[in-house]
Amino acid sequence: MNTYFNPAKEQEKVVNISYVLYKLVKKDWVKLMSDKEQISQMEAKARERMKERGVEVSDIAELVFFLQKKYHPDLTMDECTLNVNRVLAKREVQNAILTGIELDVLAEQKKLSEPLQTMLEIDESLYGVDEVLAFSIVNIYGSIGFTNYGYIDKEKPGILGRLNDKSTGECHTFLDDIVGAISAAASSRLAHRARHTE
């Protein structure tokens, strides 16, 4: 009998080799991923986080419909949805979503330090950084986005009403402005496109 043969040791060797191979393959896979695929992963993550926080694309499309129906009598929800999807494909929008939601969640979990914790928790009106972050989205399709944003922020229809409901115990200090801004940007995009086709 071969006293040098130890089944447990042999098995361990196989496991180690498998692990090294796995690491190599995984590394190459990451390296081979194109820029486009990496960007779409960012978009997928931003969409996923919004969904986790209770915001669907259809909720934002409804806001676009609310903003644009009086200017475009034939407007459909499909057109609104398409414009929201195009806005969500923009990198600066994904950045704003990921940043804003992260801060909202940390505030909800009471993980921020003071005075930021309280300012976000009570949605302090003098804070204003939530709006500044939202402006990075509103900006994308030109200045008419600002008019739309101001209007929808004042009216707070649909999903914006729910996000602003302070009785839920949830914190959406950033997300409400981000959602309003996405709808404003999508409305601007829609308006620019309509002008070109009319």
Report the interface residues with Mg ion, using CB under 5 A.
Answer: 130, 173, 176-177
Ramachandran region, residue 2 (left: φ > 0; alpha: ψ -120 to 50; beta: rest): beta
- Spatial separation of the C-alpha atoms in residues 59 and 68, rounded to whole Å: 15
The H or E element spanning position 30 is helix 7-32
Which residue carries 């486009």 as its tokens?
36
- Spatial separation of the C-alpha atoms in residues 183 and 98, rounded to whole Å: 17
Ramachandran region, residue 54 (left: φ > 0; alpha: ψ -120 to 50; beta: rest): left
Q: CB of 164: closest distance to Mg ion in angstroms? A: 8
Backbone angles phi, psi at 4, to 5 degrees: -80, -15
Between 81 and 172, whose beta carbon lies closer to Mg ion? 172
For residue 113, what is the DSSP state? P
Which residue carries 């620019």 as its tokens?
192
Using CB positions, name the residue nearest to Mg ion: 130
Q: CB of 46: closest distance to Mg ion in angstroms? A: 18
Here the tokens at position 170 are: 């949830």
Q: CB of 173: closest distance to Mg ion in angstroms? A: 5
Here the tokens at position 139 are: 């900006």
Between 16 and 150, whose beta carbon lies closer to Mg ion? 150
Q: CB of 28: closest distance to Mg ion in angstroms? A: 43
Between 137 and 191, whose beta carbon lies closer to Mg ion? 137
Between 79 and 130, whose beta carbon lies closer to Mg ion? 130
Percent helix, strand, coil in the chain (nearest 5)? 75, 0, 25
Q: CB of 67: closest distance to Mg ion in angstroms? A: 18
Between 75 and 131, whose beta carbon lies closer to Mg ion? 131
Q: CB of 57: closest distance to Mg ion in angstroms? A: 20
Between 124 and 193, whose beta carbon lies closer to Mg ion? 124
